Every structure is written in C-alpha cells, then in structure tokens.
Amino acid sequence: MRYNLILAAVVAFVVLAAGSVVLPDWAMFLFAMALAKGLVCLGIVGMMRGGVVSFGQGLYYCLGAYTATLVANNFGVSDIFLLTLLSAAVCLLVGMAFGPLLSNYRGIFFAMLSLALSMVLYGSLSKMSFIGGTDGLNIAAPTFLGWAPEGRALQTALYIYVVAIVVIAGTLMRVYFDSERGLITLATRDNELRVEYLGASVRNVMTYNYVFGAVLGGIGGTIAALALGHVDPEFAFWTTSGEFVFVAILAGFLSVPSVFVAAIILELVRSFSNLYFPNTWQLALGIFLLVVIIVLPNGLGSLVKRRKGKAA
C-alpha cells in the first residue's frame, strides 16, 4: 500500500512537472494558482470528512500571504522555502488557538464562526493603512536557496515548487486519511455519539483537522502571493472562501487528487467563462456546479471509487 502510494506520488510529480516544458506562460501561471488554491481546499476536504465545512478558510489563505509579504518587505527575506515555513508556522499557531474553540461546533455554527473569523481579518486589514489598507502590498519575486531566476525561469521554478508541495502535502494527507485518526474522522461523520462511546475524542480529531487545514491554507496563500506579486484583504473576503468551498464540493471528500483536478477545472472554467462571457461568468460557474451536484453528488472523487469498486 505504502509502496503504491509512493509510486503514485512520483508519477504525479513527473506528470505535473512535465507541464513546465509544454505549457505556455499563461497556462503555467493558471496551473500554479490552481494548485496553490487546491492546497487550501485540501484542508477543507479534511474537515468535510468529519462532517463540517469551513466557510472561512480565506483567513489562513490571507494570513499566510500577508505573513510572507510583511517578512519579505520588512526583513528582506526572499527565500521561498523560508517564507513558506514562516507562514505555515504562523498559521499553525493561529489554527491551534482557534481549533479547540471551533471543534465544539457543528453544522451551520461551525461554518458561520469560521466565516466570522475570516471577515474580522478582512475588516482589520482593510482599515490598516500602514500596511496598504484595501490596496494591499506588493511582494518581490522570491529566490530559491540564493538563486534569483527571472522571466520564464522564475515561472518554471515557482511552478515546480508548487507541484512538489502539492505532491508532498497530498501524500501526507492520504496517509493521514488512511490512519486511525483519519478513519475516526469518517466514523464521526456517520455517528459522532458512537465514536465517543468507543473511547475516541471527537473534539481532538476535529481540532487536528482544523489545524491541518490552517497550515495548508497558509502555504497556499504564500504561494499565491508570490505568484501574483501582490496581496490584499480580498484574500480573506467571503467570496474567496466561497471559491474554496466550491472546489471542495466539486471534488468531494473521497479522493485527494480530485481536489487538485477540481481546482484546475474551476480555474479553467472561470478563466474561459470570463473571457467569452465577461458579464455572466458567475452564471456559467453556478450552472457548472449545479450539473456536478446533480450528476456526481459525492464529487469527482466518487468516479475513482466507482472504478475501484468495479475492478474489485
């Protein structure tokens, strides 16, 4: 099982990394952004497996992006590895602070509380003119262990970096989902009371899932800020969090790769809808989501499970 997982991870890295050779600049940027957002959505999927959905994951997406930007601008740190680690550490601490509180809530209460935290950050950042206010901040291009690429080389390096992060994070989350704690999460979704009677702590499981989601959100936000070269409070706005939930619903909670496939599909649908239907692209997105919910109520991941079931 572990051998197959490692082999699948290596194949996924090679296939995705090959995109740096064949994709044009615009497509490589689009894929990099989609994969970065996919990391945030993977955190939401981890919570969905336990029966809750965070509508405020923009909090960590924005927090990670601002942490990297402020550190880079104020301390001259440009190394992408160090910026990612610092952002992940900050989001880890914030996630550990809010995780135990939110793990007490379910359903709409969990969703609204997480959304409220995200909007508090959005409102605060919008009022802080000394860090850009609603205009946000620019961040310089990152370096890679002292190497400062430019142009196509920079895009390629950033794309390879996000691919590596996605493969590592996806593999680790797959291991976690199949672990004892991950399976308890699934059992919690079905019958929380029974899980408690069996001696497992549902609150601890929910806290772990929330903290993992916070770290993934921070990493995704850091990569997005570095790819865009800019960050603003919109990273924490409710529509941004809504996009992440959109992708999570599209992917379902059964498969890790489907999360990133869904993120790429969303970016493609949005980009081309915006290009050909500039005034009604939100309508196109809504129709697309409705079709997916009707045809695949458990998301794209259910297609993989169906194939495995038939093969067995």
Question: For every one of its 312 residues, what pLDDT tens digit does the chain have, with 9 covering 90 and above?
Answer: 578 888 999 999 999 999 888 889 889 999 999 999 999 999 999 999 988 988 989 999 999 999 999 999 999 899 999 999 999 999 999 999 999 999 888 888 999 999 999 999 999 999 988 888 889 999 999 999 988 988 889 999 999 999 999 999 999 999 999 998 888 888 888 888 888 888 888 899 999 999 999 999 999 999 999 999 999 999 999 989 988 998 898 888 888 998 999 899 888 888 887 777 777 777 777 787 788 778 877 777 777 666 555 555
Angle at which helices 58-75 and 107-127 cross, to 10°: 30
**What is residue 268's predicted lDDT score, i.e. its pLDDT?**
87
User: In the beta sheet, which residues pair with residue 78?
Assistant: none
**What local confidence, expressed as pLDDT, does residue 303 receive?**
74
At 20 the pLDDT is: 87
pLDDT for res 160: 95
Domain that holds residue 214: 1-309
Q: Which residue has the tokens 């997480």?
A: 114
pLDDT in the model for residue 309: 56
N-to-C CA span, the chain: 16
159/164 Cα distance (integer angstroms) = 9
Instruction: Look up residue 302 and give its two tokens.
Output: 């259910």
Q: What is the pLDDT of residue 156?
A: 93
Query: pTM of the prediction?
Result: 0.91
CB 35 within 8 A of CB 264: yes
Q: What is the CA radius of gyration of the chain?
A: 19
Q: How many domains does the chain have?
A: 1
